[in-house]
Structure 1
Amino acid sequence: MSSTQRLPVAVIGAGPVGLAAAAQLATRGLDFVVLEAGDEIAASIREWAHVRLFTPWQINTDPAARDLLEQAGWTAPDSERLPTGGELIDSYLSPLAAHPAIASHVRLGATVTVIARQGFDKVRTVGRDTSPFLIRLSDGGELLASAIIDASGTWCTPNPLGGNGIPAHKETEAVAAGRVFNGMPDVLGRLRAQFAGESVAVVGAGHSATGTLLALADLAEAEPGTSLHWVLRAPNPSRAYGGGDADALAARGAIGTRIKALVDTGKITVHTSFLVQEITDRSLVSADGRKIDAAVLVNSTGTRPDHGPTTELRLDLDPILGSTRTLAPLIDPNHHSCGTVPPHGVDELTHPETGFYIVGAKSYGRAPTFLLATGYEQARSVVAALAGDWEAARDVQLELPETGV
């Protein structure tokens, strides 16, 4: 083996897909290191620990991870039960990270700032593929790796509220003032006081938006004066209602059904074709001049990948989604829901930079159609390829539940 091959594989991110990659690497006997920016594993999930997933346990765990855990005496949760984010951590991810095959390989508080090839800038080619990756951390430390599996996700880089894909006027000031909450804030628990009795606008059309609206509707029942606005760029909310009874995941279908009922009864006010142009002290202003009275804002417009640390790597990114160019048409949200994405693995995730792979939510770029089961199969395929088992790497098996959309 060359000196490069003897170096560890670096996994960026200790969330579900990063730890699944670690389990796959451990199972195949490959050396690895997991770099987690947070002070604890699954740092992003901890921000939505209160949220119940609409996918059951049976598709929220990775097969290689289950095998490792079961060998250590772990008992899997009820396969049909829907866990919360917190339960996913406590009952699965924390035991997995503490497993003897993985624990010593995990580095917490390790934020990756730059990735390059040792001795090479982006332009130089000859000898590039046999040079190790150089990873620089926020504390100034550096390490070398034979390959990189980037499972860092997109949670920390939310899309802006602005209707044109760029921040609205005065959006930065609203964020600094603490008026904007990203993703799925804990409106019934830790953050209840910030929402109770307020006029709240939720911007977005995905499950983060609808799930938050359901929680806010419960809050409004208990807290007089709480009013709810649903802000959509689309001309109508029909797609956000989902497939209802036709959804193979009953909990996912029920979300849209419940939201539609709240809209139909006037408990949620819908604003369609609303492109946020400006945020004032008490309102959202659209590009056509409409105003919504909203003191508190929830940004559920989705997230986007941060490719800043990899500008010296040769990546073939789709100009629209930010995924690999090959994967983009398979996940394009203009044509696909999360249940219609076809099986894909290492071949669709390969970049011109040999040995560098992005898996998990970040691999989808700005497409919001990702499911954990997809990320687990991506990790399995990529690790098989790194182990030289190309037959297994290309034997991609993926069955996703239909959405009914």
Structure 2
Amino acid sequence: MLDIIDRLLAGFSTWVWDWPLLILLIGGGVFFLVYSRFTPFLYFTHAISVLRGKYDQDYAPGQLSHFQALSSAIAATVGMGNISGVAVAIVSGGPGAVFWMWISAIIGMATKFYTCSLAVMYRSKDSEGTSLSGPMYVITRGLGREWKPLAVLFALAGLVGTLPAFTANQLTQTLVDVLHWEEDSKWFIGIGLSIIASLVILGGIKRIGVVASRLVPFMVILYFITVITVLIIQIEVLPEMFMLIFKDAFSGKAAAGGVLGYLIKTGIKRAAFSNEAGIGTAPMMHGTAKTNEPIREGLVAMIGPAIDTLLICTLTALAILSTGVWQSTDDNGISITLQAFNAVLPYRLGDAVVLVMVLVFALSTLFSYSYYGTTCLGFLTKPKYGKYYNYIYILSIIIAARVKIDIAINLIDSAFALMAIPTVFSGLLLAPKVNAKAKIYFEKLKS
């Protein structure tokens, strides 16, 4: 039965992630970048100031500070996509896939600026005054009720795309690999993870925001120090690795069948999983920021792809490539990253370090993703019913812990593709509204 599901998901994922969708994501991102007159890069230092709390407004509507909103969004993106997803990209697409992840991230910064600005502009409230946001509210409030079918498509796909399939699967695999447990222990690991996750996610968005704002800085710093240590030890081969990435990016020799198109698709898919630019999940979190200035939150949101793809994914890729483990194993995902660390660090320190990092990364992702699903269910029914998604989410952790990695990857890829269509399409139609707001905001900033 699982083999049939695997084949169906693989076929659908391959079909939906073909050139029309890639053109929408990349072409849309290029449009945003040019149409914004490169705003994401010109105001990057201002975005950092906003993130540091210089413009925080306690009286403003919303639930989370700018820092908590970005931390919660990054907690969902800086996770298994950065540790395990990069390995998947290299194995399936070759070193050149990393280059296309970079391109996707640079363009994605502009996409996030627009989609997350729109999330604040068109957010709604429930009966208790809690902010509700995301592409589905952008579509219905920004484009009109006649566009609701597009919003429903996003929400339905979001119920699947925000499931913890990949994260729970790879965290479980890490515990099995490092602690040398039997495969049957995955059921018990899944149950344990579901209990831990429930303690946070049942507390709602504010508890998720608080936990994420404490976990994210720690996990980024810890991972940065660890990978830099690996790269210092391997420093003599780093120039060669960069050359390999650039050389393979336009040849596709290491990709399946040596096809360049497959290589580009792989890089863009894995970047989408890494930074979620254009997918539509991050706007749901950024839309809860305590601010009266949509552009301000859009600027904060654009920092995300720079951190999780340009920085963290690059470090992971260099660690894997410099050790050469990707060429000498049949493993995939987290197992390859683990081998790369152990190949360099003495006394199998890689086991301990990766175990700690994966626990922190994966748990932070599990906490944040649950909120996205509750928001989608709340839109499809009523906001007060959204919380019931958490119980489906907790149960899915147990199931995801046991399935094959291919099923997890194809399931999330398929859902992300369907989510991207309404997100980017609505962003393109409403981009003039963002530009109008941006003009007013930056004129006020200069005065």
Higher normalized strand content (fraction of residues) = 1
Q: TM-score, normalised by structure 1?
A: 0.32
**Bigger relative contact order (CA 8 A; separation at least 6):** 2
Q: TM-score, normalised by structure 2?
A: 0.30
> Which has the larger Rg?
1
